[in-house]
Amino acid sequence: MTTTTIAPPARLDRPRGPRPRRRESRWRRLCWAVSDSLVLTWRSVARIAREPETLMDVTVQPLMFVLLFAYVFGGAIGLPGGGSYHEYLIGGMFGMGIAGSAPGTAVALVADMKEGIIDRFRSLPMSRAAVLLGRTTADLLTQVIGALVIAAAGLAIGWRIHTGPADALAAIGLALLFGYAFTWAGVCLGLVLRSVEAAQQLGFILFLPLTFISNAFVPTQGMPAWLRVVADWNPFSAVAAACRRLFGNPNPSALVHAWPMQHPELATLLWSGALLVVFLPLAVRLYARKQR
């Protein structure tokens, strides 16, 4: 709601003509917000259809990581408790590969600001939240593509689901939920930065250590004690451990006493919720602040 944030100078405060019009009901505004979000989701999807190379961050990139770790590093990594490294790897990839679209979200938002199209959106009678909701919804769709690519790559290198379809869907659902929540961090980054290059570089610089200091690729047991604490509490470790448990894949984190490693599904839900609670309102705020 936009009221009374700035008091107009009193001397100009005098009765006006017949306008303004009646405010719309809450329900109608919500309907419009959904409609506007869908239009902007369609916009992003139409862009991808015209420029499929923008999907590289959820296709080529995870594929590259799968191959690198399966065949280059994997042979040197031992799993406490034993098991196939290839099977271990895919749980980590579901965490890292899906959330890996977030730096791209930041880049796309900065580019929109630069192109001036955000100004166009702001001058339209559309929902303000729709710009961010449309963007993140489209990103969620690309993350679904990412999940399919990772699953296909996994099946190709010998990863299998040893549980039922319900558990498998729960695992992918958790990874997507976390990926969606993480996207909002990317939105905030995009709203803070001013150049596409900065978004690209900073996105990479922040994202790599965040995902590598976790159990996504390497069991945390071999890390120095202080780093292990960080890694065991890293949300990416929770997603990876949750996926491994639900897929019935080797999960050395089960031997770790840190709370998130003992309850990885619940930890993933909490982390996702926390990301949304922090970054969603922050993103809305940053977006509104762009006006001044």
Q: Which residues here bind other proteins, judged by CB under 8 A?
A: 2-3, 6, 8-9, 12, 16-21, 23, 32, 35-36, 39-40, 42-43, 46-47, 50-51, 115-117, 119-126, 130, 291-292
Q: How far is the CB of 66 from other proteins (least distance, A)?
A: 29
Q: Which is nearer to other proteins, 14 or 257 (CB)?
A: 14
The residue with tokens 């100004």 is 119
Closest CA to 239 of 85, 91, 90: 91
Q: Which is nearer to other proteins, 44 or 251 (CB)?
A: 44
Q: How far is the CB of 165 from other proteins (least distance, A)?
A: 37
Q: How far is the CB of 40 from other proteins (least distance, A)?
A: 8
Q: Which is nearer to other proteins, 18 or 165 (CB)?
A: 18
Cis peptide before 252 (omega within 30 of 0): no
CA dihedral 95, 97, 99, 102 (to 10 degrees): 160
Q: Which is nearer to other proteins, 126 or 189 (CB)?
A: 126
Burial class (CB in 10 A: 0-12, 13-18, 19+), 107: buried
**Radius of gyration over every alpha carbon of the chain, rounded to an integer in angstroms:** 22
Q: Which is nearer to other proteins, 121 or 233 (CB)?
A: 121
Q: How far is the CB of 61 from other proteins (least distance, A)?
A: 21
Asked if 235 and 273 touch (Cβ cutoff 8 Å), the reply is: no
Q: How far is the CB of 52 from other proteins (least distance, A)?
A: 11
Closest CA to 106 of 211, 179, 189: 189
